[in-house]
């Protein structure tokens, strides 16, 4: 990771860690970099955070000042930006969002011309430019100054693409949607209604400050209650920029990213569409998923945490399905990035074609007890390199006697250390996690 760009773009508290001046300079550089041989075309989307409007205008100002044309999708999802970039010949795309973070955070995600996350070497050039005292990029003048273009049409084309994908009508299926007061509030609702579902929606009234607030995929208990209360067949919860999806079955039970990979992996293998019979996961996936895949004859790869690494593995090896426990699911045949609404459509397909309830499709997947603790710390790198802490983590895993594992890592987007333990029982999970947490506390790293 660079100075500003992490695994999911340039992220920070709005006008604190990520300022309007940063956004202007990012726009300036991208307009210059992609406009060396032609007039650059760059598309911008944003989520519903109040600061997203500020960053949109700053980026557009930077782009046009460097001579690029800025096409504005307005409020939309991250995957829609990826779709528009790769299907309509834009030089790159920018999504303004901090995903599942609170409203006061924001981020700048840059997507290359092929619809994937921007190359690290280009991010490094942007960082170098941001830190320069003198601005050595020329300002466009006269007719070379760029223009801004209202491009809601691009988002509408993405909606049409999603609507075209399901193979069955959703008529009479009772579906609940938790839109997290974010990007999904228009997209998901429009798609499910167009496909004929009886659609029940919550948290679809964004005000700039309520995105992800006790709702969406990070607070799925709201959707669980809603599904039970309304007697729905299934529910889907998205995050702020709608690149994640978690589901709830008809009984109100959570279907996380691992269960979604199991449902969709099984479905695609049955159809002969699971390339190389392999699913790409991250190291955070539950041991129960691998045991279930073994029974089905499905192979799997494990990457570092981050949909960026899942995507890279899929592209390098020609795999068609991958994702994270958190709900970033990538369907390589249909998208280049995690897409929450697309994921929900694929789950609907699996349910309707099999003519089974969604709870029945998860019966072969038994979750291993797992405990995940997020610790806010003074310095992530110091914790990860402290010998006492590392020794405690090794001892905790050794104490599981091969019937479990310990994963101890730093967050790529927040000042957190994540301690995850899987074991044969909840008690063993807690015992192992407490050993690591106590060591971190004893060293004085907890905030």
pLDDT in tens, the chain (447 residues): 678 998 889 999 999 999 999 999 999 999 999 999 999 999 999 999 999 999 999 999 999 999 999 999 999 999 999 999 999 999 999 999 999 999 999 999 999 999 999 999 999 999 999 999 899 999 999 999 999 999 999 999 999 999 999 999 999 999 999 999 999 999 999 999 999 999 999 999 999 999 999 999 999 999 999 999 999 999 999 999 999 999 999 999 999 999 999 999 999 999 999 999 999 999 989 989 999 999 999 999 999 988 889 999 999 999 999 999 999 999 999 999 999 999 999 999 999 999 999 999 999 999 989 899 999 999 999 999 999 999 999 999 999 888 888 988 888 778 899 999 999 899 999 999 999 999 999 999 998
CA–CA gap between residue 428 and residue 426 (Å, rounded): 6
Residue with tokens 């944003």: 46
pLDDT value at residue 1: 64
pLDDT value at residue 129: 97
CB 296 within 8 A of CB 365: no
Q: Which residues are part of a known binding site?
A: 99, 239, 241, 243
CB 179 within 8 A of CB 217: no
Torsion sign over Cα 389, 12, 280, 183 = positive
pLDDT value at residue 402: 82
According to DSSP, the residues that pair with 418 across neighbouring strands are 374, 409
- Reading the block at residue 401, the tokens are 């006697």
Is 108 in a helix, a strand, or coil? Answer: strand
Catalytic-residue membership of 82: no
pLDDT value at residue 327: 96
CA–CA gap between residue 122 and residue 118 (Å, rounded): 7
pLDDT value at residue 70: 98
Is 240 in a helix, a strand, or coil? Answer: coil
Cβ burial 406-428 (10 Å sphere, 16+ → b, else e):
bbbbbbbbbebbbbbbbbeeeeb
Considering only CA atoms, which of 208, 181, 161 is closest in space to residue 345?
161
Catalytic residue among 52, 66, 80, 99: 99
Q: Which residues are part of a known binding site for Mg(2+)?
A: 99, 239, 241, 243
CA–CA gap between residue 10 and residue 23 (Å, rounded): 10
- Sorted by where each starts, the structural domains of the chain and their CATH numbers stand as 5-155 (3.40.120.10), 165-362 (3.40.120.10), 370-442 (3.30.310.50)
CA–CA gap between residue 176 and residue 60 (Å, rounded): 36
CA–CA gap between residue 46 and residue 72 (Å, rounded): 9
> What percent of the chain is predicted at pLDDT more than 70?
100
CA–CA gap between residue 260 and residue 327 (Å, rounded): 8
CA dist 330 → 11, 33, 321, 340, 342 (Å)? 22, 29, 6, 9, 9
| Cα angle 379, 381, 387; round to 5 | 105
- Strand pairing category for 92-96 and 41-46: parallel
């Amino acid at each position: 990771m660079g100075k500003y760009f992490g695994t999911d773009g340039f992220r920070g508290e709005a006008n604190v860690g990520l300022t309007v001046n940063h956004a202007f300079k990012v726009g300036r550089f991208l307009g210059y970099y992609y406009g060396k041989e032609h007039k650059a075309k760059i598309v911008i989307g944003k989520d519903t955070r109040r600061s997203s409007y500020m960053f949109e205008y700053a980026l557009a100002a930077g782009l046009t000042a460097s001579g690029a044309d800025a096409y504005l999708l307005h409020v939309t999802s991250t995957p829609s930006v990826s779709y528009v970039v790769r299907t309509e010949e834009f030089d790159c795309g920018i999504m303004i969002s901090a995903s599942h973070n609170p409203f006061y955070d924001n981020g700048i995600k840059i997507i290359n011309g092929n619809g994937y996350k921007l190359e690290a070497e280009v991010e490094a050039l942007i960082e170098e430019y941001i830190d320069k005292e003198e601005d050595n990029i020329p300002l466009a003048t006269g007719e070379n100054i760029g223009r801004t273009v209202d491009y809601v049409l691009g988002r509408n084309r993405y909606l049409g693409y999603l609507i075209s994908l399901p193979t069955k009508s959703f008529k009479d299926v009772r579906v609940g949607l938790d839109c997290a007061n974010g990007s999904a509030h228009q997209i998901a609702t429009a798609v499910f209604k167009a496909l004929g579902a009886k659609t029940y929606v919550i948290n679809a009234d964004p005000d700039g400050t309520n995105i992800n607030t006790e709702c969406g995929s990070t607070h799925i208990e709201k959707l669980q209650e809603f599904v039970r209360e309304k007697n729905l067949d299934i529910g889907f919860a998205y995050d702020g920029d709608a690149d994640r999806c978690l589901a709830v079955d008809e009984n109100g039970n959570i279907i996380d990213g691992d269960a979604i990979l199991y449902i969709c992996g099984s479905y695609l293998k049955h159809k002969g569409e699971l390339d190389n019979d392999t699913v790409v996961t991250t190291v955070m996936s539950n041991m129960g998923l691998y045991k279930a895949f073994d029974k089905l004859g499905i192979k799997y790869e494990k990457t570092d945490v981050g949909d960026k690494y899942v995507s890279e593995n899929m592209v390098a090896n020609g795999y068609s399905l991958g994702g994270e426990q958190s709900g970033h699911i990538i369907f390589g045949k249909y998208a280049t990035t995690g897409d929450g609404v697309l994921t929900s459509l694929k789950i609907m397909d699996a349910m309707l074609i099999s003519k089974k309830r969604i709870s029945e499709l998860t019966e072969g997947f038994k979750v291993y007890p797992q405990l995940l603790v997020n610790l806010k710390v003074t310095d992530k790198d110091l914790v990860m390199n402290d010998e006492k802490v590392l020794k405690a983590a090794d001892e905790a895993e050794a104490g599981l006697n091969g019937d479990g594992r310990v994963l101890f890592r730093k967050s790529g987007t927040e000042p957190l250390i994540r301690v995850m333990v899987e074991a044969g029982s909840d008690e063993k999970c807690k015992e192992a996690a407490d050993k690591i947490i106590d060591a971190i506390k004893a060293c004085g790293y907890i905030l």
